[in-house]
């Protein structure tokens, strides 16, 4: 199975900060990667698919980049509602998730 | 409104069985692959199983293989997860999720674009 490793696992930031989360795949997965946001007690919400395509309705401060084994999710200017846990997911084979990155307010 | 609603979660003893259901509405269910994903308390997302739109192709994670069975009934707009030989480590919120198919310049990408609110399974004596 393809393993995904997110870094960091925990991140403290302030409103207005630029934030970057990295997801590394154990083998190349082209652009078959998605990013999700999950808030406590809620289901995950799709943010980005195909590594860099913003899902309809997702604010443009979110962006994704990368291919093959290294991917990033960037929030250009953190908003209060962005404090949440973020997961990457590979869809090249069995759709496993990364372990998550918890983004907290500094 | 596009919606998925899970049910069937409960408190069950170790070794017991449960059948989870997920009913879809607001879209043509028979056109979509469907998935089950779980989340143990304070843990990350754990993909369990996927079933194709027709029900003919099924995949399982190692954590589900041999004990869990996914199925669907397109006439009832429903997907199911039969769980047997349950263990304490199966305690989790279980979500069903729709696989959307995106076509980008002729290349097909999938992602899980619609999720239910989840149903809670607790395995304890």
As beta bridge partners, residue A20 has: A74
Using the Cβ of A2 and the Cβ atoms of chain B, whether some distance falls under 8 Å is answered with no
Average pLDDT of the residues in A20-24: 98
Task: Give the tens place of pLDDT for each residue, A68-101.
Answer: 999 999 999 999 999 999 999 999 989 999 999 9
Q: What's the pLDDT score for residue A93?
A: 86
A1 pLDDT more than 90: no
B33, B50, B52, B111: best to mutate for the A interface, most A CBs within 10 A: B111
Flag if A38 and B104 touch (Cβ within 8 Å).
no
DSSP B47-110: EEEEE-TTS--EEE-TTTTTTEEEEEEGGGTEEEEEE-S--GGG-EEEEEEEEEEEEETTEEEE
Q: What's the pLDDT score for residue B33?
A: 97
Using the Cβ of A55 and the Cβ atoms of chain B, whether some distance falls under 8 Å is answered with yes
Looking at every residue in chain A, the average pLDDT score rounds to: 97
Residues of A in contact with B35 (CB under 8 A): 95
Measure the CA–CA gap between B46 and B24, rounded to whole angstroms: 21
Facing B50 at nearest CB: one of A31, A53, A95: A95
Give, for all 125 residues of chain B, the pLDDT tens digit. Answer: 999 999 999 999 999 999 999 999 999 999 999 999 999 999 999 999 999 999 999 999 999 999 999 999 999 999 999 999 999 999 999 999 999 999 999 999 999 999 999 999 999 99
Using the Cβ of A83 and the Cβ atoms of chain B, whether some distance falls under 8 Å is answered with no
């Amino acid at each position: 199975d393809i393993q995904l490793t997110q870094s960091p696992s925990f991140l403290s930031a302030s409103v207005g900060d630029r934030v970057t989360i990295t997801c590394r795949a154990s083998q190349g997965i082209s652009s078959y990667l998605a990013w999700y946001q999950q808030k406590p007690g809620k289901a995950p919400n799709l943010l980005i698919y195909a590594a860099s395509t913003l899902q309809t309705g997702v604010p443009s401060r979110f962006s994704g980049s990368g291919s093959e084994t290294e991917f990033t999710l960037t929030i250009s200017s953190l908003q209060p509602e962005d404090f949440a846990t973020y997961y990457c997911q590979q869809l090249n084979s069995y759709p496993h998730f990364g372990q998550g990155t918890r983004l907290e307010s500094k | 409104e596009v919606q998925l609603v899970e049910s069937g979660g409960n408190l069950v003893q170790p070794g017991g069985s449960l059948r989870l259901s997920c009913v879809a509405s607001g879209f043509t269910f028979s056109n979509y692959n469907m998935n089950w994903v779980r989340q143990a308390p304070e843990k990350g997302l754990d993909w369990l199983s996927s079933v194709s739109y027709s029900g003919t192709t099924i995949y399982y994670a190692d954590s589900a293989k041999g004990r869990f069975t996914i199925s669907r009934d397109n006439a009832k707009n429903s997907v199911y997860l039969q769980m047997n030989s349950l263990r304490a480590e199966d305690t989790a919120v279980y979500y069903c999720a729709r696989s959307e198919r995106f076509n980008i310049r002729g290349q097909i990408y999938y992602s899980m674009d619609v999720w239910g609110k989840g149903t809670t399974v607790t395995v304890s004596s």
